[in-house]
Chain A
């Protein structure tokens, strides 16, 4: 049961557009046993790369390919895809909850909290110098 849940939520980053027809995605799965999550590294397995041509995109990513066509993908975009629900406002989520019965897609790199997280981390490192 837990194993199937693990495979159901993925974090997908557009890493590099290598050509018009070739994109490297980096994908990680939600760790086994995680029920509620936000975008913290301890929630996720190690990232792996998926090098895809446009013809394979629909097959690999299903609803994501429908909502975000190949041509619209940009480096740095991050998506959550799979069986989860958003707790709170979709534009400012409190957290996400695993729900194998649902199929959800959310772009998260444009959410304020997400953007602040990496800025904060970087500034902490810079300040410490």
Chain B
């Protein structure tokens, strides 16, 4: 049963822009009742701008973006960013960059606009945090270790991706009292730990995930730890993940996803098929998402949603159409989602209830 989107809800709008990423984050209303917005990657300026204008028309908000985060500088993540930087109405306060310098003109023009418009550039690395009211954003990647190897030791662009963990707390987390409780290692307990967490994974691949797993380990308690250690920590547990790299074969490691245990996995994509000939055998399969990523996500019990409807056309006929995906996270609550019905060139109406 759909429920109205409340002013205190955090909302993610994962727009269907074909093969690429384009995620508008709608932060809860502030003391004046106004919402603010952040943009994580932008493959389509025109669609994003029109959608944002529609949002501003139905809920009070400020058009000037809090930030634009370019997870990494591949074209399908940055091609729509520059017009936002040079538009007085939307110009972001900050630009979050992975620090990986690409040679495309598109990226160079973004840098030139940041310089000419006086926008603050933040070179992001793991452990950094921002707070927007009760919403806490933590950077899971890139790790410092990978960032220091960009120029010299061949870290590729996908592994330079910014990965964000976004949690909507019930109260102001900086002022929150520490809670003492005992945890147990169970599927249900881990899911509960990530109840109001959304992970936006950019295009991170195995190298990046290995560092995330090291830097944000799942810490279990044993009887020997008690009573000093009272809490099981699993920083990777989440309710929703925007799957890395459009569900490619190198981006969805099973062991990491077993720690994330997402309820929902959203893949922003436009399927590409590949045919290989191996020893006389012809193999045809999808690359984005790849069957290995689908198996991993299904093994973890995640409900898959794709913006092109390619997965659903095989498994979930009721949702077998393309569309943007909207995820609503109440403070401390369980996310709800809806799939809109828009092709990559259409601008859907933002929902008022989910």
- Contacts of A129 on B, CB cut-off 8 Å? 120-121
How many residues on A have C-beta within 8 angstroms of the other chain's C-beta atoms? 31
If over half of A's interface residues share one DSSP class (helix, strand or loop), that class is named, otherwise mixed; here it is mixed
B204 → chain A closest CB, angstroms: 14
Binds A, one of B30-38, B98-106, B181-189: B98-106
- B173 at interface, CB cutoff 8 A: no
Interface size on B, residues (CB 8 A): 29
- Roughly how many angstroms separate A76 CA and B114 CA in the complex, as a whole number? 21
CA distance A129 to B109 in the complex (A): 19
* Among listed A16-24, A56-64, A65-73, A82-90, interface-contacting one: A16-24
Q: Given A22-B274, A41-B112, A128-B115, are A16 and B75 also a contact pair (CB < 8 Å)?
A: yes
Instruction: Kindly name the residue among B102, B104, B248 whose own CB sees the greatest number of chain A CB atoms within 10 A.
Output: B104
Given A125-B121, A129-B121, A118:B105 Cβ within 8 A: no
Residue among A11, A18, A41, A129 with the most chain B CB within 10 A? A18
Hey, which chain A residues are within 8 Å of B157, CB to CB?
16, 75-76
- Contacting B at CB under 8 A, from A7-28, are 11, 13, 15-16, 18-19, 21-22, 24, 26, 28
Min CB distance A3 to B, Å, is 21
Shortest CB-to-CB span from B250 to chain A, Å, is: 10
Partner of B272, one of A18, A119, A124: A18
Chain A nearest CB, measured from B78 CB (Å): 10
In the bound complex, what is the Cα–Cα distance between A126 and B114 (angstroms)?
A: 10
User: Please, could you name 15 A-B residue pairs with CB atoms under 8 Å apart, sorted by A?
Assistant: A15-B104, A16-B74, A21-B276, A26-B104, A28-B105, A41-B105, A44-B105, A47-B79, A47-B105, A49-B76, A76-B157, A121-B112, A126-B121, A126-B123, A129-B121
Q: List the interface of chain A (C-beta within 8 A of B).
A: 11, 13, 15-16, 18-19, 21-22, 24, 26, 28, 41, 44, 47, 49, 51, 75-78, 109, 114, 118-119, 121-122, 124-126, 128-129
Residue ranges of B at the interface with A (Cβ–Cβ < 8 Å): 74-76, 79, 101-106, 108-109, 111-112, 114-115, 118, 120-121, 123, 156-158, 248, 272, 274, 276, 287-288
